[in-house]
Structure 1
Amino acid sequence: MTFKLSIVVGNPKPRSRTLKVAETLADKLFGHIVQRADVIDLADYRDEVLTWPSDRMDALNARVAGSDVVIFASPTYKATYSGLLKVFLDRYPANGLSGVTAIPLLTGADQNHAMGATVNLAPLLVELGAVVPGGGFYFVISQMDRIDDIVQAAADQYAGNLRRMAKVADALQTTASHPV
Structure 2
Amino acid sequence: MSARVAVVVGNPKPASRTLSAASYLARELTGTEPDLVVDLGTVGPALLDWADPEVGRLVAEVGQADLVVVASPTYKATYTGLLKLFLDRFSTTGISGVAVPLMLGGGPAHALAPELTLRPVLSEIGATIPVRGLYVLDAQHDDPAAYADWLAEARARLAPYLSTGALR
Q: Is the TM value for this pair above 0.5?
A: yes
Q: Is the 8 A contact 2:3 2:162 kept in 1?
A: no
Could you tell me which of 122, 126, 149 is aligned with 1:125?
A: 122
Aligned to 1:27: 27
Encode CA deviations 1:8-49: one digit per residue, 9 max, x unaligned.
000000100011111111121111x21x52111001101201
Aligned to 1:116: 113
Structure 2: distance between partners of 1:165 and 1:13: 32
Q: Which amino acid is the alignment partner of residue 53 of structure 2?
A: D
Q: Is the 8 A contact 2:131 2:157 kept in 1?
A: yes
Shift of 1:144: 3.7
TM-score w.r.t. length of structure 2? 0.91
- Aligned to 2:104, the other structure's residue is in SS state strand
- Aligned to 1:153, the other structure's residue is in SS state helix
Structure 1: distance between partners of 2:21 and 2:144: 9
Shift of 1:164: 5.5
Distance of aligned partners of 1:2 and 1:144 in 2 relative to their CA distance in 1, 3 Å threshold = closer
Structure 2: distance between partners of 1:13 and 1:27: 22
Aligned to 2:146: 150
Q: Which runs of 5+ in 2 are unaligned?
A: none
Q: Is the 8 A contact 1:29 1:156 kept in 2?
A: no
Q: Greater helix share, 1 or 2?
A: 1
TM-score w.r.t. length of structure 1? 0.85
Aligned to 2:137: 140
Distance of aligned partners of 1:2 and 1:166 in 2 relative to their CA distance in 1, 3 Å threshold = closer
Shift of 1:166: 7.1
State the 4+ residue runs in structure 1 displaced beyond 4 angstroms.
164-167
Aligned to 1:40: 38
Could you tell me which of 92, 98, 101 is aligned with 1:94?
A: 92
Shift of 1:163: 2.8
More off after superposition, 135-144 vs 66-75: 135-144
Encode CA deviations 1:63-109: one digit per residue, 9 max, x unaligned.
10010000000000110000000100001112111x21000000000
Structure 1: distance between partners of 2:128 and 2:116: 15
Structure 1: distance between partners of 2:21 and 2:114: 14
- Aligned to 1:122, the other structure's residue is in SS state helix
Q: Which amino acid is the alignment partner of residue 70 of structure 1?
A: V
Structure 2: distance between partners of 1:100 and 1:125: 11
More off after superposition, 36-45 vs 66-75: 36-45
Q: Which runs of 5+ in 1 are unaligned?
A: 171-180
Q: Which amino acid is the alignment partner of residue 58 of structure 1?
A: G
Superposition map of 1:14-93 within 5 A: 14-31=14-31, 33-34=32-33, 36-93=34-91
